[in-house]
Amino acid sequence: MTLAAFVLLVAGVLGSAWLVATRLAFLAPYRAGWVMYLANLTWELLEKRTHVRRAWLELAGAGTSLVLLGLGGVGAVGLAVAALLFLGLELVARARERGVLTGLPARLDLQGLRSPASPGVTRFPAPSVHPDLTLTLEAPFVERDPAYRLGLLPLGVPFEIELIIGNHTLVPTQWSVRAELVVPSGFGLGDAAVRTLPPLSAGAAARLTWVVTPVEVTGAGTAELKVSWDGEQRSIRIAHEGARAIDSAEIRSVVVRRYPGARRAAFAWRGDMDLYDTSSFQSIEGLEVALALGARYGIAQTLFMSTRLTLDETAAREWAAHYGVDRGADEIPRFIAWMREHVELRHASPYPVESERPYVMELGNHGHLHYDTDTAGAPGNGWKAGARPGEGDYPWLGEDKGSFGDQRDNILEAERWFRRCLDFVPRSWAKPGRGNDSYTPAAVEAAGCEVASGSDIRPSDNALRQPPPHHPAETRLVELTARYPGDPQHIHHFDMLRFWLHRAHRLGIPMVLMCHQHLRQFDGTACARLTEALLRHALGGFRGDLYLDTVYGIGVYWRDVLSPSSAVVRVTHEAGRVTLTNGSERDLVRVPVDIQLADGGRITRLVSVASGERVVVGVAVGL
């Protein structure tokens, strides 16, 4: 083989490997998922640089790779095998995508009563659809993955096992839901082992709670939770390391290092609204789809709103008239009234969300003027599309018209509009466009916001890094960085986001999904279905090990409880007592206190404590 042929062969192999790597979706849950992610990222960047659809680029890449392999000496059989490999992987990817876009998380029965009888199988009249319920456990787990484990249980100290049953599909159950907790000998139940719920409607969630008390000294064992509905059955096994009396002298360390409910990591869905716009579904009709999806899954999403062209009808009309367009500014008064009537605004609201109103969400501050996009054009900057901080003189600015003053006052002006129109003061902020600089974190904090998304990050941080929660330099602000890609449009985006989700779980940090509330409805339903699949995976793919809340809810918990530098919630072991002190301004529910014993035994207690209060954690004899 000549040197030229060898070089061509290597180039062909590398090109083929690049294509194949994008389809290795099974790697997403593992560290090796970087191979799949980076391969997809390079194709994404190539698509953006060339403005050619990725499908055409990949087709050209496959053809080029085959030509290079042929010139490098690969025979016809080898080329045919490579071509079939490319085709097979593409067909598998398309089949997976079709399953996500058209599938229903439910079992469809078209045979019904005419099906052959089977022992233990219940038949329903056809056609019959039975939803796939989401089952989430909450208990003092020392770990949830790879299996539920309760660790060592203090003798005589009761604890709760709570089952959250969510019907996040579009169809109701037809029968009641039955749940039975089977505990091993040596454990007492404070109430009936068997519980039933009436049929669950679409979007409903219910809780069942058992109080369990270790009453005898036992060795390691397993409890079992059996759940059945509509002929479906699930069994969840819960391991424990035994029960015995604990003496406080055995305790070697106490720490809080996880999210509420003994969860390892966290997940939030955030989006942006730059203007009220009927053409891009940033409107009542567009928002209803995203909010209904969140409501069905019991998830409160965070919407960062820029107020100038969303709440100020006069400014929105002026902007539209300047560019000679009609984007629905006359609907803004109706939009404000709709928000006040249908949406309950909260700063934090963990899964599963409950409200008397149809929708719940966190409203975040996205600034009054939206920097760095076409919506930035305004009289104060000479109608400069894409204007950045410090490039204009606006009526709401004070004496400091530089970048710091511009950003601070822009956030404060948005706050005034939120107060006036919606009686709500956001405490989180997200950068508009790429309109952040070195002054941003300090400006955001000076404007009164406590949690940010995009304050001190570069585009590479979204795409190549996963910064943990942190305080930008010289601030107490909490930065939670969103992940790339946003607004998933195809199966490769879905796999890339799954990679980030699993990596966040491994690292014990939050995953912030960036998906605009318009869900790209202007180009079809793919984004909505892929987003739903990600929500379902976050809920059901980690044994409940992700704490689902708003951006603010997750950020402020990290600041007050988990941050090495700013935590004001303290757990101590002194004078034979374990105490949890809440120095924050918020009541805390089910804070996981992890206790390590001298012999290596592990205990977790879930503790609720009001703001400013201190509670004794019941783990040892006499406490």
Percent of the chain exceeding pLDDT 70 equals 98
State the Cα–Cα distance between residues 174 and 177, nearest whole angstrom: 9
Q: Which CATH superfamily is domain 266-559 in?
A: Glycoside hydrolase/deacetylase (3.20.20.370)
Reported as a single tens digit per residue, the pLDDT across 551-570 is: 999 999 999 999 999 999 99
Q: Is the predicted pLDDT of residue 38 greater than 60, yes or no? A: yes
Q: What's the pLDDT score for residue 300?
A: 98
554 or 2: which leads in pLDDT:
554
Question: Which is nearest to 342 in space by CA: 290, 297, 274?
Answer: 290
Report CA dihedral (306, 310, 315, 319) to the nearest 10 degrees. 90
Residues of the chain with CATH 2.60.40.10: 128-245
Q: What's the pLDDT score for residue 458?
A: 84
3-26: average pLDDT:
93
Reported as a single tens digit per residue, the pLDDT across 251-299 is: 999 999 999 999 999 999 999 999 999 999 999 999 999 999 999 999 9
Ramachandran angles phi, psi of 210, nearest 5°: -115, 135
Q: Which tokens go with 395? A: 């009526």
319-348: average pLDDT:
98
Label residues 434-444 b or e (16+ Cβ within 10 Å = b): ebbbebbbbbb
Residue 257: count other Cβ atoms within 10 Å of its Cβ: 12
Q: Is the predicted pLDDT of residue 622 greater than 80, yes or no? A: no
Q: What's the pLDDT score for residue 248?
A: 85
Q: Would you give the DSSP letter of residue 569?
A: E
Q: Which tokens go with 230? A: 């509509």
Ramachandran angles phi, psi of 393, nearest 5°: -130, 105
575 or 574: which leads in pLDDT:
574
* Alpha carbon distances (Å) from 300 to 268, 351, 358: 8, 7, 12
The rounded Cα 602 to chain-centroid distance in angstroms is: 29
Residues of the chain with CATH 3.20.20.370: 266-559
Q: What's the pLDDT score for residue 620?
A: 61
Question: Which is nearest to 522 in space by CA: 310, 270, 286?
Answer: 286
Q: Is the predicted pLDDT of residue 389 greater than 60, yes or no? A: yes
Reported as a single tens digit per residue, the pLDDT across 214-239 is: 999 999 999 999 999 998 999 999 99
Q: Would you give the DSSP letter of residue 599?
A: T
**Res. 4 pLDDT band, cuts 50 70 90:** confident
Question: Which is nearest to 244 in space by CA: 357, 381, 152?
Answer: 152
CATH number for the 128-245 domain, one of 3.40.50.300, 2.60.40.10, 3.30.70.260, 2.40.10.120? 2.60.40.10
Q: What's the pLDDT score for residue 107?
A: 87
Q: Is the predicted pLDDT of residue 422 greater than 90, yes or no? A: yes
Long-range interactions of 187-193: CB distance < 8 A, separation 24+: 187/212, 187/213, 187/214, 187/215, 187/216, 187/218, 187/223, 187/243, 188/212, 188/213, 188/215, 190/158
Q: Is the predicted pLDDT of residue 120 greater than 80, yes or no? A: no
pLDDT, the chain, mean: 95
**Res. 111 pLDDT band, cuts 50 70 90:** confident
- List strands edge to edge, sheet with 577-582: 569-574, 577-582, 614-616
Q: Is the predicted pLDDT of residue 118 greater than 80, yes or no? A: no
Reported as a single tens digit per residue, the pLDDT across 44-69 is: 999 999 999 999 999 999 999 999 99
Q: What's the pLDDT score for residue 121?
A: 63
Residue 13: count other Cβ atoms within 10 Å of its Cβ: 16
